[in-house]
Chains A and B, each alone.
Chain A
Amino acid sequence: MSIQSELANILTASADPRMATPGKNKALFIFLAIVVIGLGFGVSAFVVGHHNAYNNTREMPWGILIATYAFWAITSTGLCIYAAMSHVLGGTRMGIVSNRMVWMSIMTIMGAFATIGVEIASPHRMLLYNVLSPNPTSNIWWMGTLYGLAVGCMLVEFFGIITGLARLAIIIGVFGALAEVGANSCLGGVFATLAGRPYWYGGQLPIYFLTSAFLSGAAAAVFFNHMAYKLRGEEMSEAVRRAVKSAGKAMTLVLILYMVATFWRLLSYYVGGTDLGRTAAGALIHGPLAVNFWVVEVGVGMLIPLILIILARGENIPTMSFAGVLILIGQFVARYDLVVAGQLVPHNIGWDNVPTYFSYIPSFSEFAVVAGSIGVVGMGFLLGERFFGKVFDQKEHH
């Protein structure tokens, strides 16, 4: 039998015809259109110039696209860790939905890569000189390399999953997860090691990012699993329900840890340190990012989900899934606030009559790219359910 026909057989076995209905095809094309149009605006930056397409400046070189990249990358790490823990240790109840989590980990990192690909001014130079002229002291270098490695590992892992090569999937999956954790840590390090930016600088940030990964990963796991069954109009089996509830418990626990970490992180700026750090924190507490912080980060992203989880008693999956979506929205805005607040206070404050805070509002192109990245993840989710749905829908004996 030729390789093509063998692959066709595997795909036939893994595909789920329930996901190929006209309504779902329409949803797929809508996501595809968002991807093409959204990322199209990003690609146009290479023609009109990144400085014309995006509202970044000399003083604020990073904006919403870096935040979007960080958000997807962090979510990917979370999904990958939970999947690897379930695969390797086998003890967690999430094992039964871990294949879906591996796929979504790949898709969320694709959303991240799509964003950074149109954010960086010369990605072609990156491909060349990351290899020819690496800098081992650069967090960005490690982050990019490790995320690249992680994607490679996860693709092999996923290939192992759909072809039934369990041992290959588990071993490579562990390497993928380690690479994801390392990459996530280096992403935190990108910000945490910049002494010139006191709002970012310090040892807490990498572990804060890892906490966010566990939070976003669990929230995404609850949400995507809920959606997968809702779209099919099918009841979850008891084992799947247990798995999703288990992810919900992890989400609740990490949400509380994340709230504690956020509290101390912000409080620390008010008890010492430089004015630059305190003023930056002030942007969230009472400055230009206050609505983002209090309403979206704290309200939508922390308190309402916590109340919903309590009301659902961790049992009602749709309510937990809604809490998960709210957490993800809160996490996205938290990444935005973190990236922006770190640069919002001018270095030369007190000179040149500069304002206390720069003003940064993302351009239309930037918003379009954000939408495009959501399209990548949404499309990835639907394609995964359609072509590998049966692999995701494991049986109880896993």
Chain B
Amino acid sequence: MDIKKLSKKKNEGVTSLPSEERRKFLKMGFAVTGVFLGGSVLSLTSVQEAQGQRADVVPTEGQYPFEKHYAMVIRQDRCVDCERCLVACRETNHVPNHHDTWRTTIQEKLTISKEGFKEAIFRPVLCNQCNRPPCVRVCPTRATYKDKKTGIVMMDYKKCIGCKTCMSACPYNARYFNHDRYAVDKCNFCYDTRISKGETETACSAACPAQVRIFGDLLDKSGKVYGYLHTPDKTIWVLRPETGALPNVFYTNF
């Protein structure tokens, strides 16, 4: 296109524009919009259909996109911080023993009870195996991915370039850099170490003496997880719901 020649052309005006030209222009507009829309759809993760229901935290029944939908209910007020879960996790999953390398931990907060006593609240945390996992979306090499069969967010260590974007993206601080593997590591509900071998509980869940961590398949209607999440008069919450990650670790007090 020669801009100099173009500038010498006569202005045709908009009123004399044939409708075919207008249609062409509209079509082009739609095509451009389509490309952008396509891009924005791409930028969402593959399991966007798994929306929330009760208070936007429990997945809508019948809309689980996985063959098995593993989830965990944490009965927070039963936790006494005995840390057996943490020990079991380290041993089972060979998590290096440094202060900032963990797949699961227990957070603590001091409050004052209504009787005026100091009371400690303990909150176990781990990877939330989100339905819309920010870590999976940002990974440049698909080293971390949402497993289609189980809904678990897994790691393919050999593909991890160590850019640590997933660590920045995770709203739950659930990821750490494993110096032994020289890759990012995280909880995978003990899939490789226990669940794929026929065990029905994760190491942390099996080790808990107070049955704080209830692990199971949300698709199993006779299972405990389904029962807890579908008891209408019980309050269920998730951590940081505002991030829209749709976690599969649920919290309750009973």
Contact = CB atoms under 8 A, between A and B. Distances in A.
Interface of A: 49-51, 56-59, 61-62, 89, 120-123, 125-126, 129-130, 133-141, 144, 190, 193-197, 274, 342-343, 347-348, 350-353
Contacts of A197: 168-169
Given A51-B179, A195-B244, A196-B240, A137 B137 contact: yes
Contact of A348 (B42, B173, B242, B244): B173
B169 A196 contact: yes
Given A122-B183, A348-B107, A137 B177 contact: no
Nearest to A141: B140
27 contacts: A57-B100, A58-B101, A58-B173, A61-B177, A121-B161, A121-B162, A121-B182, A125-B141, A125-B162, A129-B140, A130-B140, A133-B159, A135-B141, A136-B42, A137-B45, A141-B140, A190-B165, A193-B138, A194-B169, A195-B134, A197-B168, A197-B169, A343-B168, A347-B173, A350-B109, A351-B108, A351-B123
B43 A351 contact: no
Nearest to A191: B168
A182 to B, nearest CB: 11
Contact of B161 (A56, A125, A342, A348): A125
Contacts of B108: 351-353
B212 interface: no
Interface string B157-192: 011111111011111110111010011000000000
B164 A126 contact: no
Nearest to B100: A58
Given A137-B43, A137-B45, A196-B134, A122 B168 contact: no
Given A130-B141, A141-B141, A194-B134, 20 more contacts: A50-B177, A58-B100, A62-B168, A89-B3, A121-B161, A121-B182, A133-B142, A135-B140, A137-B45, A138-B137, A141-B140, A144-B140, A194-B138, A196-B169, A196-B172, A197-B168, A347-B173, A351-B107, A351-B108, A352-B108
Leading 3 A-B pairs by shortest Cβ distance = A121-B162, A196-B171, A129-B141
A138 B140 contact: yes
A195 B158 CA distance: 27
B243 interface: yes
B143 interface: yes
Contacts of B167: 58, 61
B139 interface: yes
A120 B107 contact: no
A134 to B, nearest CB: 7
Contacts of B161: 120-123, 125-126, 129-130
A55 B101 CA distance: 15
A197 B169 CA distance: 7
Contacts of B42: 136-137
A49 B169 CA distance: 23
B160 to A, nearest CB: 7
A52 to B, nearest CB: 9
Given A193-B43, A196-B245, A347-B172, A51 B177 contact: yes
Interface of B: 3, 42-45, 100-101, 107-109, 123, 125, 134, 137-143, 158-165, 167-173, 175-177, 179, 182-183, 240, 242-245
A373 B76 CA distance: 49
A244 B163 CA distance: 38
A347 B242 CA distance: 13
Given A50-B162, A196-B171, A196-B240, A138 B177 contact: no
A119 to B, nearest CB: 8
Given A126-B140, A193-B43, A350-B109, A140 B163 contact: yes
A130 B101 CA distance: 27
B159 A125 contact: yes
A130 B100 CA distance: 29
A352 B107 contact: yes
B139 A58 contact: no
Contacts of A56: 164
Nearest to A124: B161
A61 B244 contact: no
Nearest to B99: A58
B173 A274 contact: no
Contacts of A196: 134, 169-172, 240, 243, 245
B205 to A, nearest CB: 22
B138 A140 contact: yes
Contacts of A135: 137, 139-142
Contacts of B100: 57-59
Contacts of A348: 107, 125, 173
A97 to B, nearest CB: 22
Contacts of A122: 160-162, 182-183
Nearest to A89: B3
Given A141-B141, A351-B107, A49 B179 contact: yes
Nearest to B101: A58
Contacts of B43: 137, 193
A314 B108 CA distance: 59
